[in-house]
Amino acid sequence: MDQAIAKADALIEAMGWIRRFRGKTTVIKLGGSLLEDREALQHLLLDVIFMETVGLRPVVVHGGGKAITEAMAKAGIEAHFIRGRRVTDEKSLEVVEQVLAGELNVELTEMMERFGGRAVNLSPRTTCVLKGKKLIDPEGDDLGFVGEVTEVDRDVIESLAYTDQVAVIPSLCTDDKGQLYNVNADTAAMAVAQSLGADKLVFLSDVNGVRRDPEDPQTIIPALSADEARQLIADGVIKSGMIPKVEACLETLGRGVQKVHIIDGRLRHSLLLEIFTTDGVGTEIHP
């Protein structure tokens, strides 16, 4: 009986957050090692289905860097990166499109359907909702078919939300001539969140959030204002690979998204714990 009461208490705690976020849009960025961890991925997708079931409007944006690199290696194509961006020639683009639109996007959608949810894959093979152009590298390097999102078809995404379906979007865009481009998944998720005026943008990472000591998970900072985050960067507390992620969060906040979260997607039900509990499990950055 005590266990049953504890479950009821957890539901009561969640009720306030559910009422607060009901009808609000949350964009969830999936990528990296999480797509390779089947157990963690299943729990994350169950979290997404729960969110939709209780009235939130989740939208999933995904990359697939590791799977792309492995597929390129099998095809005998060597991966090249410039400042973290994958140089994408014609042969590489074929692999990127096959992995993102032909495999991962379909797989994520089918997994959610098997778990009892309703999901729709929005890729260049079905309905492409990300429009863009070739990314011009500021240092003058030619990255090939790497693009940036300039427009999001929010009507298509929102129409799915109104019919209780979750949009699943790969990090690919097309220009006005139909040319396909590979897009950084973080920036694709940012563009979607900004276009939809999302209440939340959640970056699922392999760290538990912003830490005062990068090597100590116990030093996580649960919440930061934008000004506090900038000061921690200036003080050298936020450093290395966390800097571009936090800077991306700050840019997103500056364009209308209410809150950005960085959480460890490997933690079971981390998405629900971050959104529907008082303490959360990651770092929330707010204006």
Note whether residue 192 is domain-resident: yes
Residue 246 clears pLDDT 90, i.e. is over it:
no
Tokens standing for residue 141 = 């390097």
CATH number of domain containing 81: 3.40.1160.10
What pLDDT sits at residue 20? 86
pLDDT per position as a tens digit, 13-24: 778 888 888 899
Distance separating alpha carbons of residues 170 and 182, to the nearest angstrom: 10
Note whether residue 3 is domain-resident: no
Note whether residue 201 is domain-resident: yes
Note whether residue 275 is domain-resident: yes
Residue 87 clears pLDDT 90, i.e. is over it:
no
Show the beta-strand stretches assigned E in the chain.
25-30, 57-62, 81-82, 85-86, 119-121, 130-134, 147-152, 166-170, 172-174, 180-182, 200-205, 223-225, 259-264, 283-286
Residue 64 among known ligand-binding residues: yes
Range of the domain at 75: 21-285
- Placement of tokens 């492995």 in the chain: 70
Note whether residue 157 is domain-resident: yes
Across the range 95-117, mean pLDDT stands at 94
Residue 184 among known ligand-binding residues: no
Residue 86 among known ligand-binding residues: yes
Residue 55 among known ligand-binding residues: no
Using the 8-state DSSP alphabet, how is residue 146 labeled? B
Query: Could you give the percent of the chain with pLDDT greater than 90?
Result: 52
Note whether residue 84 is domain-resident: yes
Rg (CA), the chain: 19
pLDDT per position as a tens digit, 153-167: 999 999 999 999 999
How would residue 143 be classed by pLDDT, with cut points 50, 70 and 90? Answer: confident
What pLDDT sits at residue 278? 79
What pLDDT sits at residue 169? 97
Note whether residue 2 is domain-resident: no
Name the residues annotated as catalytic.
29, 32, 65, 186, 245
Residue from 165, 87, 102, 170 nearest 132 by CA: 170
Residue type present at position 139: E
How would residue 46 be classed by pLDDT, with cut points 50, 70 and 90? Answer: very high
Decide which of 77 and 141 is more confident.
77
What pLDDT sits at residue 133? 95
What pLDDT sits at residue 183? 93
Across the range 236-264, mean pLDDT stands at 85
Across the range 67-95, mean pLDDT stands at 86
* Count: domains in the chain: 1
What pLDDT sits at residue 141? 76
Q: What are phi and psi of 129, to 5 degrees?
A: -100, -5
Note whether residue 4 is domain-resident: no
Using the 8-state DSSP alphabet, how is residue 98 labeled? I
pLDDT per position as a tens digit, 179-234: 999 998 988 999 999 999 999 999 988 788 888 888 888 899 999 999 999 999 99
Distance separating alpha carbons of residues 246 and 211, to the nearest angstrom: 12
What pLDDT sits at residue 191? 94
What pLDDT sits at residue 24? 93
What pLDDT sits at residue 113? 95
